[in-house]
Amino acid sequence: MKIKRIAISTGGGDAPGLNAVIRAVVLAANQRGWECVGIRDGYNGLLMPEQFPQGGLIALNRDRVRGITHLGGTILGTTNRGNPLHYPVLNADGVYEEIDRTDELVERFRAAGLDALIAIGGDGSLEIAYALAQKGLTVIGVPKTIDNDLDKTVATFGFHTAVAFATECTDRLHSTAESHQRVIVVEVMGRYAGWIALDTGVAGSADVILIPEIPYDINKAAEKIKERDRHGRDFSIVVVAEGARPVGGDFIIQGKAIGQAERLGGVGQQVASALQTLTGKEARVVVLGHLLRGGSPTAYDRLISLRFGAAAVRALAEVQSGIMVALDPPNVNYVPLAQVAGRMKQVPLDCDTILTARDLGVSFGD
């Protein structure tokens, strides 16, 4: 089928670089004579059009994407509530249940005269993209997430910006921790993977890094802080991933709404309280949370976002479908969505960054 009109959707948590991908897709598609539209808020623009008085689809042309490469967020809007595979619907008896609306989505997509979809998202969005491809839609995925937890790509866009900002915050905490001889615990996002915490901790000279991949013994972390004290280093910086958990313990879950993923967070406070008790030092906690998702993408993230967007359009021009663009330096490659959907990439325990951290004397609480 000859492509004339393509759609872009941005799903899940936003990440710096989304707008750069959108711009690259629109410019590369326009050059080929294709029309582009954006679906509002994930797939809600098609599934819940009544929620959008201006229409659930936004026409995207050269003018509409001018000057957005450096902007955080997404001009299309996003949601982590509208997963068409698990769509929350209120029953007559007042109870929510999850239903699969992907068949309906495919019908509405075709009724809107759309020939192909570029789905920009993390694990959840790429699982949806895979399901839609299996139902016959022409789909190309683009790997987005600050968490960097997608398989088969060296990096996702958004991660570099999150680590750069978290590192700057950690740098700023050194002087106040040192002045007050305190332990400062920095909690960062990342879900069930420790990529953000690990890279931030090493780049930001943390003394202890706690990540989900290495369950921690808080006594070991406290021992590292006491050892520093004995050497006259009477302050410490601890970077904790929101998904970190003690040996034999579990993640701290803030909540789980129907149709949504678990919300993690709170381990930083737990670690700070325990370290205060065990070391006798005053401890404070800083939760960076959604600050990591905001702001302007770094040059690195802008570049990979633009490369991903252009490569996604080239893939459509080559009549590909059911694939994700992936960073494979020095190139961008294509991998089957089947190899990505539903898989999470955690930090390998023997990776060079962990070895480097250990060589620098960082404790992982193990």
User: What is the rounded CA–CA span in Å between residue 76 and residue 57?
Assistant: 9
Per CB under 6 A, 145 contacts ligand F6P: yes
Per CB under 6 A, 146 contacts ligand F6P: yes
Per CB under 6 A, 191 contacts ligand F6P: yes
Per CB under 6 A, 147 contacts ligand F6P: yes
Q: Report in angstroms how near the CB of residue 329 gets to ligand F6P at its nearest.
A: 23
Binding mask 306-345 for ligand F6P (x = CB under 6 A): ----------------------------------------
Burial bucket for residue 348 (CB in 10 Å: 0-12, 13-18, 19+): exposed
Backbone angles phi, psi at 253, to 5 degrees: -105, 125
DSSP annotation of 113: T
Per CB under 6 A, 124 contacts ligand F6P: no
Q: Report in angstroms how near the CB of residue 265 gets to ligand F6P at its nearest.
A: 7
**The residue to which tokens 């769509």 are assigned:** 87
Backbone angles phi, psi at 332, to 5 degrees: -105, 130
What are the C-alpha distances in Å from 201 to residues 206, 231, 328, 337?
5, 21, 25, 32
Per CB under 6 A, 194 contacts ligand F6P: no
Q: Which residue is nearest to ligand F6P (CB)?
A: 189
Degrees, nearest 5: CA angle 80-86-87? 75
User: What is the rounded CA–CA span in Å between residue 133 and residue 47?
Assistant: 17
User: What is the rounded CA–CA span in Å between residue 96 and residue 102?
Assistant: 18
Chain residues 232-251 in contact with ligand F6P, contact rule CB under 6 A: 242
User: What is the rounded CA–CA span in Å between residue 74 and residue 71?
Assistant: 8
Please answer whether residues 112 and 57 qualify as being in contact, where contact means their C-beta atoms are separated by less than 8 angstroms: yes
The correct pick among 38, 122, 204, 309 for binding ligand F6P (CB under 6 A) is: 122
Q: Please identify which of the residues 14, 115, 123, 147 carries the catalytic annotation.
A: 147
User: What is the rounded CA–CA span in Å between residue 197 and residue 9?
Assistant: 29
The correct pick among 224, 245, 281, 293 for binding ligand F6P (CB under 6 A) is: 293
The correct pick among 189, 214, 218, 222 for binding ligand F6P (CB under 6 A) is: 189
Classified as helix, coil or strand, 162 is helix
Nearer to ligand F6P, 64 or 343 (CB): 343
The correct pick among 11, 13, 143, 259 for binding ligand F6P (CB under 6 A) is: 13
- Please confirm, yes or no, whether 41 is among the known catalytic residues: no
Number of residues near ligand F6P (by CB under 6 A): 13
Chain residues 48-107 in contact with ligand F6P, contact rule CB under 6 A: 80
Which positions are catalytic? 147
Binding site for ligand F6P (CB under 6 A): 13, 80, 122, 145-147, 189-191, 242, 263-264, 293
